[in-house]
Structures are given as structure tokens and as C-alpha cells.
């Protein structure tokens, strides 16, 4: 199975959906932040491993604690995935923090700051006409 095949893309999205539900409802570890969301999952073509990218709202210490909690809950999550998904082999889960949402919010704030300091261009256009 190729890395970007339709089957692999479908497996990635199903694992992502199921992990989101499991992390939200089943993980009882107090280290795991309530504002944790699964951004994407990259399952290897041989279905042996999966990189899970999570976004964690909070400070750096909260992110580290949540990552430790998720790593300790990985065997439980894998067993729950095996029960819910019909895969030949259930992948081993490796968690990684994804900063893309945080980066996007930061860039949006910077753009808003720049736009608020710029003079209004519509006034200049009216004077020319």
C-alpha cells in the first residue's frame, strides 16, 4: 500500500476520528489536558506505527504533562482502537505536539495588529476620484 493511497488516507482519518473520541471520553489520566485535540494521524503503510499529532491548549508545562499522559495511555488507546477499528494490525501510537493551530492564531494576531496601525486606504481612493 502506497503512503498516499486512498486506503491509507481513509485509515488515517478513521484512526484520527476514533482517537479523538477515545482521548476525550476514555482517558482518565489527570495529566491529559481537557483541551487536547487530535490534528492528524499518519499511519505507516504497513500499519505497524502511527504518528499522532495533537494540539494542546495551554502553557508549555501543560503540553509536556499531556504528552507524558498520552504516552502512558498509548497501550490502552491501542487496545481500544483494536476493538473499534477492523484493521489487520493495530498500529503502535507515537504522540507528537502539533504547533500549527497555535502558530496560525499568532500569525492572525500579528496581521490584525499590522492592519490596525495602517492608515485607511479607502479615504485616499475617494480623494483621487
Q: Can you tell me the mean pLDDT for 17-39?
A: 91
- Predicted confidence (pLDDT) per residue in 68-123, tens digit: 999 999 999 999 999 999 888 999 999 999 887 778 888 899 999 988 888 776 55
Quick one: pLDDT at residue 21? 93
Taking alpha carbons only, the member of 52, 39, 45 closest to residue 103 is 39
- Predicted confidence (pLDDT) per residue in 51-66, tens digit: 999 998 888 898 899 9
Residue 129 has pLDDT above 60, yes or no: no
What domains sit in the chain, N to C, each tagged with a CATH number?
6-120 (3.30.300.20)
Amino acid at each position: 500500500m502506497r503512503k498516499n493511497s486512498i486506503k491509507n488516507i481513509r485509515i488515517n482519518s478513521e484512526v484520527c476520528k476514533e482517537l479523538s473520541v477515545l482521548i476525550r471520553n476514555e482517558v482518565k489520566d489527570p495529566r491529559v489536558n481537557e483541551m487536547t485535540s487530535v490534528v492528524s494521524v499518519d499511519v505507516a503503510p504497513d500499519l505497524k506505527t502511527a504518528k499522532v499529532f495533537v494540539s494542546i491548549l495551554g502553557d508549555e508545562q501543560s503540553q509536556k504533562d499531556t504528552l507524558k499522559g498520552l504516552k502512558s495511555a498509548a497501550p490502552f488507546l491501542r487496545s481500544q482502537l483494536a476493538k473499534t477499528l477492523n484493521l489487520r494490525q493495530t498500529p503502535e501510537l507515537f504522540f507528537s505536539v502539533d504547533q500549527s493551530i497555535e502558530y496560525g492564531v499568532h500569525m492572525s494576531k500579528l496581521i490584525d495588529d499590522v492592519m490596525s496601525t495602517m492608515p485607511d486606504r479607502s479615504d485616499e481612493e475617494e480623494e483621487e476620484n
